[in-house]
Amino acid sequence: MNPVLKTIYERKSIRAYVKRDIPENIKDEIIKAAMKAPTAGNMMLYSIIEVVDQSKKDTLAKTCDNQPFIAKAPLVLLFLADYQRWYDYFIHSEVPELCKRMKMEMRSPQEGDLFLACSDVVIAAQNAVIAAESLGVGSCYIGDIMENYEAHRELFSLPQYVFPIVLLCFGYPTRKQRERDQTCRFDKQLIVFKDKYKRLDKEEFNNMQKDLEEKVAKVNHFLPGAQNIGQHIFLRKFNANFSKEMNRSVREILQNWLRK
Ligand SMILES: Cc1cc2nc3c(=O)[nH]c(=O)nc-3n(C[C@H](O)[C@H](O)[C@H](O)COP(=O)(O)O)c2cc1C
């Protein structure tokens, strides 16, 4: 198998790290790989903050749905959607004057700009993940960084058009983590369609359920009250408190982004 595919296929999320710093040259490669990712209009609508301050890592371990391993990760990178840099640059470049001259509206970043920036962020982040993996460094995404927007805005001095999309923890895997089984994925026919979208039917849901059953049975039992996998996942993920907080927080982010 070619080494790129091998890296992609063998990667798994790593949540426990040996006590070993990641050398600066390896960090540089990981960040360089992120910055080489495709980016909409070649605008790089993202920023990356390396979280070095241990007290900030400790805070994130709490504000990101209490995940203590964040505080122990030797390298923590915060990936931010960022239109502030370009908006400031437009002002710096006297775009408002241009607009006046050309009788155009000087608009501020809107919903589409935000989605494009989010795409840029995750593509860059995933390049970092794969580069790290190829260098023997494990990683784990933290989606909970979208929670507690107000706290994170203050913690990292974020202006109006910058906000967190993903946090990435990196470190050399413990032996136990390396030996862990990989997580399974749905069958291709449930995910990949030809020419048009297909809503799943009863039989397909039954097959999907079988996959999920295997997965859930391996790691834990149903939550109290749940009688099947759908109910379990609903309670554990979709309707969990972290999910409610994430939706509240993102609503706040959106209001802030669209504020004139
Ligand atoms: C957007 C995103 C957010 C995630 N957030 C978390 C998280 O907060 N905590 C965590 O332990 N894993 C998190 N993960 C990792 C997933 O749980 C993991 O990718 C999934 O279970 C599949 O396992 P694998 O990466 O080992 O293949 C996240 C992954 C993604 C892509």
In DSSP notation, 175-186 reads HHHHHSPPPP--
Tokens of 211: 């996959």
| Pocket flag, ligand 1, residue 13 (CB < 6 Å) | yes
Query: What is the Rg, in whole angstroms, of the alpha carbon atoms belonging to the chain?
Result: 21
Percent of the chain at pLDDT exceeding 90: 85
For residue 15, which atom of ligand 1 is closest to its CA?
A: 11
pLDDT at 255 over 80: yes
Residue with tokens 């969990």: 240
With the most atoms of ligand 1 within 8 angstroms of its CB, the residue from 62, 72, 141, 165 to mutate is 141
The predicted structure's pLDDT at residue 217: 66
Q: How confident is the model at residue 220 (pLDDT cuts 50, 70, 90)?
A: low
Q: Which residue's C-alpha comes closest to atom 2 of ligand 1?
A: 143
DSSP 144: G
The amino acid at 76: V
For residue 64, which atom of ligand 1 is closest to its CA?
A: 8
DSSP 201: -
Average pLDDT over every residue of 19-29: 98
Longest dimension (CA), the chain: 66
Does residue 78 contact residue 167 with C-beta atoms inside 8 Å?
Answer: yes
Percent of the chain at pLDDT exceeding 70: 98
Between vectors from CA 168 to CA 167 and to CA 173, what angle results, nearest 5°?
150
Report the chain's mean pLDDT, rounded to a whole number.
95
168 CA distance to ligand 1 middle (Å): 10
| Integer Cα distance of 226 and 235 in angstroms | 8
| Integer Cα distance of 164 and 153 in angstroms | 9
The angle that helices 24-35 and 111-134 make with each other, rounded to 10 degrees, is 140
13 CA distance to ligand 1 middle (Å): 7
| Pocket flag, ligand 1, residue 183 (CB < 6 Å) | yes
pLDDT at 219 over 70: no
The predicted structure's pLDDT at residue 96: 97
The predicted structure's pLDDT at residue 19: 96
The predicted structure's pLDDT at residue 176: 95
pLDDT at 218 over 90: no
pLDDT at 148 over 90: yes
pLDDT at 216 over 90: no
